[in-house]
Structure 1
Amino acid sequence: MASVYTTLAIIGMVFISPVVIPALGKILEKLGICSDLSLLRAVLDGIPPRRDSKLLIKDLKVDEVPLRIYQPKWPPTGKRRGILYFHGGAGTFGSITRVGIHISSLLLLCTPSFLEIYRLAPEHPYPGQYFDCLNATLYFMRNLEEYHVDPALIIISGDSCGANFATVICQILLNKRDLPKVRAQVLLYPGLQGLDFHLPSYQQNASVPMLFRKLVIYFCFRYLNKEPSVLEDVLQNCHVPESMKQKYKKWISADIIPDEFKIRGYVPQKSISYKPEVHEAIKEILAITFSPLLAEDSIICQLPESYIVTCEFDVLRDDGLLYKKRLEDNGIQVTWYHSESGFHGILAFFGYGIFSFLSGKKIMDSTVNYINSL
């Protein structure tokens, strides 16, 4: 276990930890140079993109939403799977031009058509990202013939906040009776709720790169274009009314997390006081479009077959575990892969030589095998 922490610490230093960037960004912003997000985007843009010569890439716009469509260059021998993939990045960074090699690998190994989409916050305010994802999804599902996609093999997927978007889109599509049914949702280390930031994974991995506990809340504020003045109160769950805690504790609670995931440490949170002003400042994180784990059973029971990846050293681990249980409790088939040495964002290093991780390859192999089994 020590080696895992050591490795993660090295990565955090080598790749300019996102904890440093907000602080440095604030200084640069005061100097009138740039914002923290501009700095973060500039750093990420400095990482060279990986493209594969076997892929056919087409860019277009649908209702001002930028789309990038990826297809194998070889002629189709029949209908293909259609994978819609929403990238991670807290809704504030990442783009269709910065495609990770793990995405390219999915394309080549699963031979689908592929889209990666949405405009970034705060320039494009929340909940615009969901509308972008929905509009792109509707366009794709209404033009399956053009891309040689089997309407019975549509897969909606994403990583991190992109997995959140994928989850919400799958829930929204239940009301679109004129469209083909989604075959499966593929969710890679998803963040799915803003109600409880004291779950075991939040405590155990509070200071584990690449996503620290405090950084989760910070990016929530940046994504929603809010001033993080009540960040510490939100970390203590002061934003949640007692009535809401009671209503959702059957779905979001440390009591539901299996004991094996508490071995590394967990201390139940002491009673805290609800602060209405904090709730008002950040109430959007309790909306279904931000916290799809709060959707009613009448929605969950209609969802497609699901594949969920969780990582042991990830603050968002328990979101995935809780959603897995909710789906299974509602009769939905779930294939679950848990990476015992994985951390949040591990697939971003996939295919980058010495910076790659065996755990990342295992996640990729499992994901590809699942998709190819459909």
Structure 2
Amino acid sequence: MELGSTLWILASYISLLILCWVFAWVLYYDLTRTHLPTEIRQRTKLRCITLLATFLMTLAAGAEKIGICNRYKIWRLALNGIPPLTKSGLVIKDLLFDGVPVRVYWPKTKAAGNRRGVIYIPGGVGLLGSRAAYERVCRYIARESDSVVVSVGYRLAPEHLYPLPVLDCCTVATHFLKNALDYGVDPSHITIGGDSSGATFAAAVCQRLTARKDLPRLRGQVLLYPFLQALDFNLPSYQQNHLVPPLFKKRAVKLGLMYLTGKYENMDRIMKNAHVPKDLWSKYRKWISADHIPEEFKARGYVPFEPPPFCEDLHAICKKGFDPMFSPLLAEDEAIRRLPKTFILTCEYDVVRDDGLLYKKRLEDNGVPVTWHHVKDGFHGIVFFIDYGPFEFQSSRSSLKHLTHFLEGL
């Protein structure tokens, strides 16, 4: 018994030392390899959240290396966070739409007729997003816009690689459009949207479904700080914000590659665009180029980038990333012209800011009405923190208010 107690105490001290070492490393990493611009309000709060996230990610990576658990499973649990403790004022049900799990939110208030519907796709780079993680966001949209919201529980990579998560979202959208009346929704007033990679999926699904004549037309699309192309990782926003948390440039490319292929390698060369052949540069330069970014967004510094020699092996690994279902910005004009009214939210201190700006230009050039809101002090993931009490940012609520005003105006 005494030996067992001694071993237990020794193990506790060792565990504590390991945790202290990990935290010290995370603190050093954060202070030396991240950059928090002074223009971001509530910087201390973001710093604390970043430290906590990096600490948990580091522990999860360590747990995976010693065979305890896959790191992504731990990250998913952490992202789910603490369930909302307050009453929602909504009717909430978990259902299946043609085999895909969804969570549906109905306002309790009476409506004169069928309500508008919103299909919301969680972010998380196709690896981490879940209905539980985005519970607060979906509750807010349902309450504030008086809409029926469908949150999509698509399958996750690396267990289910691209394009399976997007196809799950297509399945849900198709089912909802066909059966909207069964859920008290006007089929002609359905909008699809999401944030981060959820916005990527929403843009891809919207392009795919607007070509179908057997479905009601989507009323709108909502794209919150979307990732939209895997061609150029050296646009001004990638250069300016590569060290701004929570979505560092390397993290964005690394996780995106994991979602696409199930592994990551040669990260440095991909980040320098060595995976893109000259013929694709020539083909897509009319849509993806720093020349199409307004000068005001280059004020913090931009250096024209010359990619290294093309690598055929990298192209073979990444070529699926040039599919419009992965990179909606690469869709042809014919597909872009069919798109509905669009709301785009961009954040100044976000590596994928310029994807949103370029998509805005493409939509407007093809006659698609765009409502654009730019968060001048914002960073990637800002709306995720809505109704998270002390973790909520001032821009979280104001950004979602712009979204709900767009929905009300459709």
TM above 0.5, yes or no, is yes
Instruction: Give 2:354's aligned residue.
Output: 318
Q: Secondary structure, in 3 states, of the residue corresponding to 1:194?
A: coil
- Provide, for residues 75-123 of structure 1, a one-character-per-residue CA deviation record: whole Å limited to 9, x for no partner: 3321211111101111111211233423211101111111111121111
Report the Cα offset of residue 124 of structure 1: 2.0
Instruction: Give 1:147's aligned residue.
Output: 183
Report the Cα offset of residue 35 of structure 1: 2.5
Given candidates 327, 345, 352, the residue that maps to 2:388 is 352
Instruction: Give 2:74's aligned residue.
Output: 39
Instruction: Give 2:127's aligned residue.
Output: 92
Asked whether the 8 Å contact 1:200–1:265 carries over to 2, the reply is: yes
Given candidates 261, 265, 274, the residue that maps to 1:238 is 274
Structure 2: gaps spanning 5 or more residues? 1-35
Structure 2 letter corresponding to 1:96: R
Tell me which moved more, 307-316 or 74-83: 74-83
Report the Cα offset of residue 47 of structure 1: 3.2
Tell me which moved more, 145-154 or 203-212: 145-154
Q: Secondary structure, in 3 states, of the residue corresponding to 2:210?
A: helix
TM-score with structure 1 setting the length: 0.95
- C-alpha distance 2-272 of structure 1, shift in aligned 2 (>3 A): closer
Report the Cα distance in structure 2 between the residues aligned to 1:251 and 1:50, rounded to whole angstroms.
46
Report the Cα distance in structure 1 between the residues aligned to 2:64 and 2:240, rounded to whole angstroms.
33
Structure 2 letter corresponding to 1:94: G
Tell me whether 1:72 sits opposite 2:107 in the alignment. Answer: yes
Structure 1: gaps spanning 5 or more residues? none
Structure 2 letter corresponding to 1:164: T
Tell me whether 1:169 sits opposite 2:205 in the alignment. Answer: yes
Given candidates 121, 139, 155, the residue that maps to 1:119 is 155
Which protein is bigger by CA-based radius of gyration? 2
Q: Secondary structure, in 3 states, of the residue corresponding to 2:375?
A: strand
Instruction: Give 1:181's aligned residue.
Output: 217
Report the Cα distance in structure 1 between the residues aligned to 2:195 and 2:100, rounded to whole angstroms.
20
Report the Cα offset of residue 352 of structure 1: 2.0
Asked whether the 8 Å contact 1:12–1:210 carries over to 2, the reply is: no
Given candidates 145, 169, 172, the residue that maps to 1:133 is 169
Tell me whether 1:107 sits opposite 2:179 in the alignment. Answer: no
Structure 2 letter corresponding to 1:30: K
Give matches, 1:266-345, under 5 Å.
266-345=302-381
Give matches, 1:190-201, under 5 Å.
190-201=226-237
Report the Cα distance in structure 1 between the residues aligned to 2:197 and 2:371, rounded to whole angstroms.
20
Report the Cα distance in structure 1 between the residues aligned to 2:87 and 2:303, rounded to whole angstroms.
47
Structure 2 letter corresponding to 1:172: R
Report the Cα offset of residue 159 of structure 1: 0.6
Instruction: Give 2:9's aligned residue.
Output: none
Given candidates 85, 89, 100, the residue that maps to 1:54 is 89
Structure 2 letter corresponding to 1:110: S
Given candidates 250, 264, 283, the residue that maps to 1:228 is 264
Q: Secondary structure, in 3 states, of the residue corresponding to 1:56?
A: strand
Asked whether the 8 Å contact 1:52–1:104 carries over to 2, the reply is: no
Asked whether the 8 Å contact 1:200–1:261 carries over to 2, the reply is: yes
Provide the aligned C-alpha RMSD in A.
1.9
- C-alpha distance 16-366 of structure 1, shift in aligned 2 (>3 A): same
Structure 1 letter corresponding to 2:173: T
Asked whether the 8 Å contact 1:8–1:209 carries over to 2, the reply is: no
Q: Secondary structure, in 3 states, of the residue corresponding to 1:3?
A: coil
Structure 1 letter corresponding to 2:230: G
Q: Secondary structure, in 3 states, of the residue corresponding to 1:116?
A: strand
Tell me whether 1:27 sits opposite 2:78 in the alignment. Answer: no
Q: Secondary structure, in 3 states, of the residue corresponding to 2:246?
A: coil
Report the Cα offset of residue 51 of structure 1: 5.8
Q: Sequence identity, in percent? A: 44
Asked whether the 8 Å contact 2:121–2:199 carries over to 1, the reply is: yes
Report the Cα offset of residue 303 of structure 1: 0.8
Asked whether the 8 Å contact 1:66–1:119 carries over to 2, the reply is: no
Asked whether the 8 Å contact 1:19–1:215 carries over to 2, the reply is: no
Report the Cα distance in structure 2 between the residues aligned to 1:137 and 1:369, rounded to whole angstroms.
22
- C-alpha distance 365-45 of structure 1, shift in aligned 2 (>3 A): closer
Report the Cα distance in structure 1 between the residues aligned to 2:314 and 2:53, rounded to whole angstroms.
25
TM-score with structure 2 setting the length: 0.87
Q: Secondary structure, in 3 states, of the residue corresponding to 2:305?
A: coil
- C-alpha distance 62-149 of structure 1, shift in aligned 2 (>3 A): closer
How many residues of Structure 1 are paired with residues of Structure 2 in the alignment? 374
Report the Cα offset of residue 332 of structure 1: 0.7
Asked whether the 8 Å contact 2:191–2:221 carries over to 1, the reply is: yes
